[in-house]
Amino acid sequence: MKCRRCTAKATVQLRSHNSAFCRQCFIFFFQRSVERAIERERMFTREEPVLVAVSGGKDSLALWDALTALGYATEGVYLGLGIGDYSVESQRKVEAYAERTGLPLRVVRLEEENDGLGVTEAAAFTRREPCSACGTFKRHYFDRAALAGGFAVLATGHNLDDEAARLLGNVLHWQLPYLATQRPVLTPTHPKFARKVRPLYRTSEYETAAYAFLRGIDYVVAECPNSHGATQLVYKELLNRLELSMPGSKLAFVNDFLRHAQPLFTAAPENDPGECKRCGMPARAELCGYCRLVAEIERRRAVRTVAHS
Amino acid sequence: MEIRLEPQGKRLMLSGRRRVGDLVRSLDLVAGTVMVIRGDQLLTDDEMVEDGDAIEVRAVISGGVR
């Protein structure tokens, strides 16, 4: 198999693009794809510093690497979720990457912020799914990190497969409010929020994994232990079976949704958010989602303490 | 050849020269959901692997929203 650009021996095969590339040309192709997505959706400019949420996985580290290579001003933020050895390894990989590249990194650890509570304990106390508590923590701490650092842009490593799986889930259950907000750029609804962008929304998981591998990025290969049996993985499996028979289906599904269908879904009119009485971050109720979760944990902890005394 | 499946950490031995695409199918995996790696090289479907090779088959799927 030969490289589409230079005809050298190919090392990366992209069925969805009916193409193959050598190492050097694939890295060029990947970075150019990211740049095109940023420009097409007017995500940010080279004059705007970007805070990149990095987990230690292939997607976020590949994103951070590509943005830096493209000349964007970036800083990483890592959120330690308190998920045992998985979080320990994730933090180690992110810190090693930042040290090797000399890129600035902020580290926030949930156990230090939340009275010793990580995702696992929070889920156990509230009987929520760990992914639900995790999402609430991530939104809050990434928003806070962007605000504290004065960043107008917060980038995450959600890829094409993530977007296609999310779209399939939203369509299967006709989640109209979610379909109305499924876009690669979310405009802030409050001055304390950053613009949230997903520059990898057209880039498949295979592409981000191949990019990370070929760039020598040491990422966490292990999956989050809480992801076992996750619905999103079922959707991804279905979509990958479809992709095998009809290459390009995932990209067309997401692309055509954004181009033709997404604008037809409009979010229900809501007042602009106020501010949380407890933490001061934007909130549509008296407390933001994060503070409601923390209050629930505190209530249940108190009940448990009384019961054990 | 020795096959290492990641992230499971599972190892198995196979014998006989074959194409990468056939190897992936024989492991009941879907093309495009794994990287097939020999040393520091990513392999395309038409590459041959053979006895004596050490091959890593690394899943690329991630995600955990319930």
Boundaries of domain holding A128: 41-275
- Of the partner residues B37, B41, B63, the one whose CB lies closest to the CB of residue A230: B63
User: Quick check: is A45 in a domain?
Assistant: yes
Taking a C-beta distance cutoff of 8 angstroms, is the pair B66, B13 a contact? Answer: no
User: How close is the nearest chain B Cα to the Cα of A158, in Å?
Assistant: 9
Q: What pLDDT, on a 0 to 100 scale, did the predictor assign at position B63?
A: 64
User: Quick check: is A69 in a domain?
Assistant: yes
CB neighbours (10 Å) of residue A132? 16
Q: What pLDDT, on a 0 to 100 scale, did the predictor assign at position A112?
A: 87
Q: What pLDDT, on a 0 to 100 scale, did the predictor assign at position A304?
A: 75
Which chain B residues are within 8 Å of A55, Cβ to Cβ? none
How does A205-231 read in b/e, with b if 16+ C-beta sit within 10 Å?
bbbbbbbbbbbebebbbbbbebbeebb
Q: What is the CATH number of the domain that holds A158?
A: 3.40.50.620
In sequence order, the β-bridge partners of residue A53 are A77
Using CA coordinates, name the residue in chain B closest to A224. B64
The class of domain B2-59 in CATH terms is alpha beta
> Using alpha carbons only, how large is chain B's radius of gyration in Å?
12
Q: What pLDDT, on a 0 to 100 scale, did the predictor assign at position A130?
A: 83
Cβ contacts of A218 within 8 Å, gap of 6 or more: A93, A96, A97
Is the CB of B65 less than 8 angstroms away from the CB of A11?
no
Which chain B residues are within 8 Å of A246, Cβ to Cβ? none
Which chain A residues are within 8 Å of B29, Cβ to Cβ? none
Cβ contacts of A49 within 8 Å, gap of 6 or more: A73, A74, A75, A150, A151, A152, A153
Q: Is A59 on the interface with B (CB under 8 A)?
A: yes
Q: How many domains does chain A have?
A: 1
- Of the partner residues A11, A162, A206, the one whose CB lies closest to the CB of residue B60: A206
- Of the partner residues B32, B42, B63, the one whose CB lies closest to the CB of residue A11: B42
User: Quick check: is A261 in a domain?
Assistant: yes
User: Quick check: is A284 in a domain?
Assistant: no
- Residue B58 backbone dihedrals phi, psi, to 5 degrees: -110, 120
Residue B65 has pLDDT above 50, yes or no: no
Is the CB of B32 less than 8 angstroms away from the CB of A243?
yes
User: Quick check: is A12 in a domain?
Assistant: no
User: How close is the nearest chain B Cα to the Cα of A98, in Å?
Assistant: 22
pLDDT tens-digit readout, B20-60: 999 999 999 999 999 999 999 999 999 999 999 999 999 99
Name the one residue in this structure whose structure tokens are 């020795």.
B2
The parts of chain A modelled with pLDDT lower than 70 are 115, 309
Q: What pLDDT, on a 0 to 100 scale, did the predictor assign at position A13?
A: 96
Taking a C-beta distance cutoff of 8 angstroms, is the pair A113, A90 a contact? Answer: no
Is the CB of A205 less than 8 angstroms away from the CB of B30?
no
Residue B14 has pLDDT above 60, yes or no: yes
Where in chain B are the domains? 2-59
Q: What pLDDT, on a 0 to 100 scale, did the predictor assign at position B43?
A: 97
| pTM of this structure | 0.95
